[in-house]
Chain A
Amino acid sequence: MSAEVKMTTVDHTEGAPVETLLSARNIRKSFGEREVLRGVSLEVGKGERVCLVGRSGSGKSTFLRCLNLLEPPTEGEITVAGVSSSSWAGGVATTAPTGKALAQHRAQVGMVFQHFELFPHLTAVGNVALGPQHVLGLRRADAERRARELLERVGLGDELDAYPATLSGGQRQRVAIARALAMGPKLLLFDEPTSSLDPELALEVLLVMKELAAEGTTMIIVTHEIRFAREVGTHVAVFDDGCIIEQGPPQQVLVEPRDARTRHFLRSVLADVPPGEGQV
């Protein structure tokens, strides 16, 4: 697989040109000797929902963490329109936001984690209001009002003052989504948001994500839920061994994959799904 794989991924199915929101070019990432990302490029247009699929350890989560700059790439370029533009070479940042600009980037590129990572010492409202109050500089009352509105939007109007420990996994993940939304992000990154949830709890999280999709939220989602990717995704990229081996509209990539490795991956994932769930 060439490290120079570069494809334009902006979906033009509706005909109108889409404004590019995020562009990642030739991202490489090494942990010591181990190269986890070997030249990944991705462009995401405004309003797109890009699903990243692939085997565990194929680099998709690391790629997502690079986009948020939680993990600086070893090499490559990441540009988020109107927010920041960064590039790295030889493990060193040539241009990359630091301090306030870095915080700004992270707030504008919201992140939802696999294990929720709610702040256990704060209530649902406290979790969601923390960023608006301390990063966006809202007055506490305003930050909490925004938090209440968002929690109601994700269906948690009855749990405003609940601490994370008393919430179910699905509820916690919805608080985490509200927490990311509270920063008014340009796009949202989801790192396997339902992998640690029981199917019925996963469903309530997926429903919230579908609503966000319907509202035109730009999202990049690392997921094993192939059916969800097919329904909600506008674009799918398949990761294997630190590279994107195939990408395109979900109907093509997930239904009639060209690459043998994609076919193999899909067979192995769909084999785990009970009959009916994963059917094409």
Chain B
Amino acid sequence: MSFSTVADHLPDIVAGTLRTLEITTFAFLVALVVGIPLAALMSLRPALLRGFSGFLLLMLRGLPELVALYLLYYGFGSRGISMGPVVAACIALGVIQAAFVAEIYGASLRTIAQGQREAAAAIGLRGWQQWRLVLAPQALRFSVPPLVNVYLALLKLSVLASAIGAGELLFEAQSIMNESFDILPIALVVVGIFLAITLPLTWMTRRLERRLRIGQVAR
């Protein structure tokens, strides 16, 4: 087995890797932003609105990502709402993950006891100061590890974008395989690249989670 095919197609592999990171990162940003109104909607008082948002989240979580990609790229595209495959992938994957992000936001804020807001108020901090100095820093600490997991999930989901020709790592790899018939070395390189990204991130989340637990030993 020789890796000369890999060397020959190195620029394509690098381009594919960058495209994968691009899709993952932008989909992640979409999820972070769309998650905010979803979380806000969930915390609303009127039961009807809360019911609606709960239903919306269930739908998002129940929808297979590949189906969403086809719907957005081919389905909407056939009716004049057309976009590039990369944009379609970022939106479809990001919006579905936003359902999970919304849960993370909600859970993080719920973790911070009501007493913290009162303690902040009791020393004279005003509304936005309470958020900025006391509530947000704590919510962020609780959010970071699960949000890294969302990033990891998106990285793995990004390969689905190859199905609509987004030119990410798997798509590029398939093209090289089809051209050279030298499948195993290419496949191993793809595996290696994904693990090189996911393993350090996983390790980082573990560390973060452990540090967070230490910071929160039983009061």
Q: A-side interface residues toward B, CB under 8 Å?
A: 68, 70, 99-100, 102-104, 106-107, 110-111, 113, 115-121, 130-131, 134-135, 163-165, 172, 179-180, 182-183
In the bound complex, residues from chain B placing their C-beta under 8 Å from that of A179 are 123
In the complex formed, the residue of B with least CB distance to A71 is B118
Q: Does B119 contact A (CB under 8 A)?
A: yes
CB pair A111 B122 closer than 8 Å? yes
In the bound complex, residues from chain B placing their C-beta under 8 Å from that of A164 are 219
Q: B-side interface residues toward A, CB under 8 Å?
A: 113, 115-116, 118-126, 129, 133-134, 137-138, 141, 214-217, 219
Which single member of A107, A163, A165 contacts B123 (CB below 8 Å)? A107
Known: A119-B120, A130-B123, A130-B134. 14 other contacts (CB 8 A): A70-B122, A103-B125, A107-B123, A113-B119, A117-B118, A119-B116, A119-B138, A121-B215, A134-B125, A135-B125, A165-B214, A165-B216, A165-B219, A183-B123
Q: Report the minimum CB–CB distance from A20 to chain B (whole Å).
A: 23
In the bound complex, residues from chain A placing their C-beta under 8 Å from that of B123 are 106-107, 110, 130-131, 135, 179-180, 182-183
Q: Report the minimum CB–CB distance from B26 to chain A (whole Å).
A: 30
Q: Report the minimum CB–CB distance from A192 to chain B (whole Å).
A: 13
Q: Is chain B's binding surface mostly helix, strand, loop or mixed?
A: helix
CB pair A103 B122 closer than 8 Å? no
Alpha-carbon separation in the docked complex, A89 to B219 (Å): 39
Which single member of B122, B138, B216, B219 contacts A110 (CB below 8 Å)? B122
Q: List 22 A-B contacts (CB under 8 A).
A: A70-B118, A103-B124, A104-B124, A106-B121, A106-B124, A107-B123, A111-B119, A113-B119, A116-B219, A117-B118, A117-B119, A119-B119, A119-B138, A121-B215, A131-B125, A134-B125, A134-B133, A135-B124, A135-B129, A172-B219, A182-B123, A183-B123
In the bound complex, residues from chain A placing their C-beta under 8 Å from that of B122 are 68, 70, 106, 110-111, 113, 180
Specify which of B115, B116, B124, B215 lies most central, judged by the most chain A CB atoms within 10 Å of its CB: B124
In the bound complex, residues from chain B placing their C-beta under 8 Å from that of A134 are 125, 129, 133
CB pair B118 A103 closer than 8 Å? no
Alpha-carbon separation in the docked complex, A247 to B168 (Å): 78
Which single member of B116, B133, B137, B138 contacts A117 (CB below 8 Å)? B116
Alpha-carbon separation in the docked complex, A68 to B118 (Å): 10
In the complex formed, the residue of A with least CB distance to B119 is A117
Specify which of B119, B121, B214 lies most central, judged by the most chain A CB atoms within 10 Å of its CB: B119
Specify which of B122, B125, B133 lies most central, judged by the most chain A CB atoms within 10 Å of its CB: B122
Alpha-carbon separation in the docked complex, A255 to B33 (Å): 63
Alpha-carbon separation in the docked complex, A107 to B122 (Å): 6
In the bound complex, residues from chain B placing their C-beta under 8 Å from that of A115 are 115, 219
Alpha-carbon separation in the docked complex, A168 to B119 (Å): 19
Which single member of B134, B138, B215 contacts A165 (CB below 8 Å)? B215
Alpha-carbon separation in the docked complex, A183 to B122 (Å): 10
Alpha-carbon separation in the docked complex, A182 to B123 (Å): 9
CB pair B119 A163 closer than 8 Å? no
Q: Report the minimum CB–CB distance from B123 to chain A (whole Å).
A: 4
Q: Report the minimum CB–CB distance from A187 to chain B (whole Å).
A: 13
Alpha-carbon separation in the docked complex, A164 to B119 (Å): 14
Alpha-carbon separation in the docked complex, A113 to B117 (Å): 12
Q: Report the minimum CB–CB distance from B72 to chain A (whole Å).
A: 40
Alpha-carbon separation in the docked complex, A104 to B219 (Å): 30
In the bound complex, residues from chain A placing their C-beta under 8 Å from that of B124 are 103-104, 106-107, 131, 135, 183
Q: Report the minimum CB–CB distance from B167 to chain A (whole Å).
A: 42
In the bound complex, residues from chain B placing their C-beta under 8 Å from that of A180 are 122-123
In the bound complex, residues from chain A placing their C-beta under 8 Å from that of B215 are 120-121, 163, 165
Q: Report the minimum CB–CB distance from B165 to chain A (whole Å).
A: 46
Name the 5 nearest CB pairs between A and B, nearest first: A107-B124, A117-B119, A131-B123, A135-B124, A111-B122
